[in-house]
Structure 1
Amino acid sequence: MSTQLWRVNELMRGLTAKRIRTRVGRAELLRVRRGVYADQSYGDEDELRALMLCLPPEAVLTRQSAARRYGFGVLPEALVHVQLPATVPKPRLPGLAVHHSVLPAHPVVVRGLPCVPAARCVVDLARTVRRLDALPVLDAALRAGAVTHDELVTEVSAHRALRGVRQARELVPLADGRAECRQESQLRLTLIDGRLPVPEPQVWVHDRDGSPRYRLDLGYRSRRIGVEYDGVSHLDRDQLRYDRERMNWLDANGWRMRYFTDRDLYHRPAHIVATLQAALS
């Protein structure tokens, strides 16, 4: 059973202020925010619901906060992001980021809370976060099935003249739901921005019997060149053994592999481009 939350004016329809204080003192009621109370089952998952009760009724979750509820929350979420019409004053609460919007929002209830529509959420992020983070959002939204390419194209057209819409318009055609992680999407964008051919995400390599053997993060199938991002998971001893076996098999079967780390991706992207340019030529 879900936690019951009340605004103070709702409680005062049946209780006096003194009776509310008494119940709080006995821990029969919990004061979780100013003017918001909960029953004893209140937990971390209820904090967002309690926050929404403190906001104007027009408030809806947006950007990273809505993306997480839709299933494509690939960016950090240090604050709770809500959207309000431009005519509604911004409330000032700790941990809250309020975004005014001139575009009307038709809320969608996702896991019990109102959110901007998925396509609106994706495009708002794609036009406001840095370019290297925007493509991972687009890829993840397609992968989660929250939006389609056509819906993104339609939504971008509704954002014309808004800040950053040019970036979103450029990246929507590059979005690919086959990408499996943020760094993979960022690596693909680094190659595209380096004016290299667009690599294919999640390339299956088959053995001589035609059975799928290994899957590569990115690849140029016709050139038998694979590109991979090595994260912290590759430091595990068992993973290292598997990686070595995999590398040897791919090499023996004619695949030239190129591996990159976070240092390459975030601090020397030109090295990535030069390495792949040499391999392709």
Structure 2
Amino acid sequence: MRIQELLLAQDGVLHRDQALRCGLSRQAIRRRVARGEWADAQPGVLRDTTHPVTAAARVRAASLWAGEAGLVSGPAAAFWLGMLAEAPEHVEITVAVSARRTTPAGVRLRRRSVPVQDRMRERGVLVTAPALTVLETCGRVPDGAAFLDRALQGRWAVPHQLHAAYCRNAGAHGMGAAHRLLVAALDRADSKLERLLIRLLRDAGLTGFVRGLPAGAGREIDIAFPAERVAIELDGWAWHTDPERFTADRAKGNALVAAGWTLLRFTWRDVTEHPARTVAAIRRALGR
């Protein structure tokens, strides 16, 4: 690839090694720098002074400096993937714990191992994959809850991907805040799941159910048919990400069964992808 084509493809920046591979000698590179045609963007990275210094150029320059050993992460990755309109002042680069690098200006270095499933290449830049990017960013932007809601609505990452990424990276810096926001956001998704099932029940002509029926010890049944003693519990996304909720719901289910209730459990997939099968199972339980 020619030098100008490479600069156009890379937001006006390139690594010195790329210039050498394009056929320029070290002397030719020095002459361009001396004439003011090129300037240092990061150690080993040059920018064409005729190109504007954009946020994309800053991120790409940091990525070129890090090379294959580092990846853009946090809010900088969110910007690169189109989740944020603006890039942060400092581009975060995640490298291995054992890496020994001096952090240049405009870069924030983070040392930790990132699972291979949470890495990707986007437009030539190594970045954290969408799910991990969402988790790392939501705890560090001013309104993390709103950012996470936009991520879920914009399908940058669906709940099960966020849950899986959280499990792979639990214990990493910032994951505690991400977990709290994730559970809160997915609780709202769980409420939507209840509304969807209630709509299915009404469309099927099933009546006599109660939402949030008290079940003692501060517990509630998600959807209950008191006359038939049929309890429906919905295992939504938040149920999978909150260990305390998981334990409490199991205890509630055991208590209901011990008290003579028929307990049915349904997931988001049951309700949204297999509605007829879900309604049929409820009918059978009511018939019994």
Normalising by structure 1, report the TM-score.
0.52
Tell me if 1:52 matches 2:60.
Answer: no
1:86 aligns to what SS in structure 2? coil
- The change in CA–CA distance for 1:167 and 1:40 in structure 2 (over 3 A counts) is closer
Hey, what does 2:30 align to over in structure 1?
21
Cα deviation, residue 74, structure 1: 7.2
Q: Distance in 2 between matches of 1:129 and 1:43?
A: 28
Mark the CA change 1:119 to 1:29 in structure 2 (over 3 Å): closer, same or farther.
same
Quickly say closer, same or farther: Cα 1:39–1:87, change in 2 above 3 A: same
Which is helix-richer, 1 or 2?
2
- Percent identity, aligned pairs only? 20
TM-superposed deviation, 1:148: 0.7
1:80 aligns to 2:88 (yes or no): no
Task: Give the CA deviation at 1:116.
Answer: 0.3
Unpaired runs of 5+ residues, structure 1, are 179-197, 199-281
Q: Once the two structures are superposed, what CA deviation does each residue of 1:214-266 show, in whole Å capped at 9, x if it has no partner?
A: xxxxxxxxxxxxxxxxxxxxxxxxxxxxxxxxxxxxxxxxxxxxxxxxxxxxx
The residue type paired with residue 130 of structure 2 is A
Report if the CA contact (8 A) 1:71-1:144 is conserved: no
Larger Rg: 2
**1:94 — aligned with what?**
105
TM-score by length of 2: 0.51
Q: Aligned with 1:108: secondary structure? A: strand
- The offset of 1:27, in angstroms, is 4.7
The Cα of 1:38 is off from its aligned counterpart by 4.1
Q: CA deviation at 1:4?
A: 5.8
Task: Note the C-alpha offset of 1:153.
Answer: 1.8
Quote how far apart the aligned CAs of 1:94 are.
0.9
Query: SS at the partner of 1:60?
Result: strand
The code of the aligned residue for 1:23 comes to R
In the alignment, structure 2 segments of 5+ residues that lack a partner are 1-7, 192-288
Q: 1:19 to 1:93 in 2, by over 3 A?
A: same
Instruction: Write the distance in 2 (CA, Å) between the matches of 1:22 and 1:165.
Output: 48
Question: Which of 131, 156, 163 is the aligned partner of 1:119?
Answer: 131
SS of 2:121's partner is: strand
CA RMSD of aligned residues (A): 3.3
Q: How many residues align?
A: 177
Contact 1:86 1:102 (C-alpha < 8 Å) held by counterparts: yes
Q: What is the Cα deviation at residue 136 of structure 1?
A: 2.3
SS in 1 for 2:143: helix
